[in-house]
Structure 1
Amino acid sequence: MECLDCVEATARLHLYIDRELSTEEVAIVQQHLVGCPHCECRFHFDLEVKRLIHERCTIERAPAHLREAVMRLARGERGKIDADLAHEIKREIKADLEGC
């Protein structure tokens, strides 16, 4: 089994984290991580950054009634939106803006 230096291991870390390496390459990277505390630390840091990005950047879906109203507006069907729904849309937009 081939042994990696730190530069080669670091170059493969994101592929390793994303599970895009072959079985043999995974074993080689794992072997290096076990024997190199610096690269293992880098691996855990990169893994945590990736997790945080995924957690914080996940787009929440708007409620169904809001998506439907926006699509009606986009199609030019303004008359089909009743006053209650228009009020609800304004309230949700205001709440979203205040959260920024």
Structure 2
Amino acid sequence: MGENLDCLSCYEITARLHLYIDRELNTQEIEIVQQHLTTCPHCECRFHFDMRVKRLVHDCCAIERAPQHLREKVMRIAHGEQVDIDPELAKKIKADWGGC
């Protein structure tokens, strides 16, 4: 980074919040960000806001797990096995692919 991490401004801390939240900073950077957050109410508020947004996006956009039988068939196909599929579904797939 090349900068003195002991005196990062609010702007620089805010720029690192997503990396901090995603645990992508090194140990020294984590300590500096945490220290700044304990002494700066504005940045701490921004951190909590960003965390809430991240949780909201995760909760609203999480894809439901596929049923076990479907996951098993996909894994079998991935391993090169022949898998029977519903004839109606096969027609729809061929139609969507232009008959290829």
More helix by share: 1
Distance 1:45 1:72 in 2: 46
Q: 1:47 aligns with which of 24, 31, 51?
A: 51
Q: 1:3 aligns with which of 3, 7, 25?
A: 7
Match for residue 78 of structure 1?
A: 88
Note the 1:56-67 alignment, pairs <5 A: 56-64=60-68
TM-score (norm 2): 0.64
1:4: how far off?
1.4
Partners of 2:68 and 2:6 in 1: CA distance: 53
Q: In structure 2, what residue type is equivalent to 1:2?
A: D
Q: Which moved further from structure 2: 42-51 or 59-68?
A: 59-68
Shift of 1:8: 0.2
1:30–1:61 Cα change, 3 Å? same
Contact 1:3 1:32 in 2 (8 A): no
TM-score normalised by structure 1 residue count? 0.64
CA RMSD of aligned residues (A): 2.4
CA displacement 1:14-61 (0-9 Å, x = unmatched) = 000000000000000011111100000000000010011111110113
* Structure 1 residue runs without a partner (length 5+): 80-100
Letter in 1 for 2:85: R
How many percent of aligned residue pairs carry the same amino acid? 66
**TM superposition outliers: structure 1 runs of 4+ over 6 Å:** none
How many residue pairs get matched?
74
Amino acid at match of 1:78: E
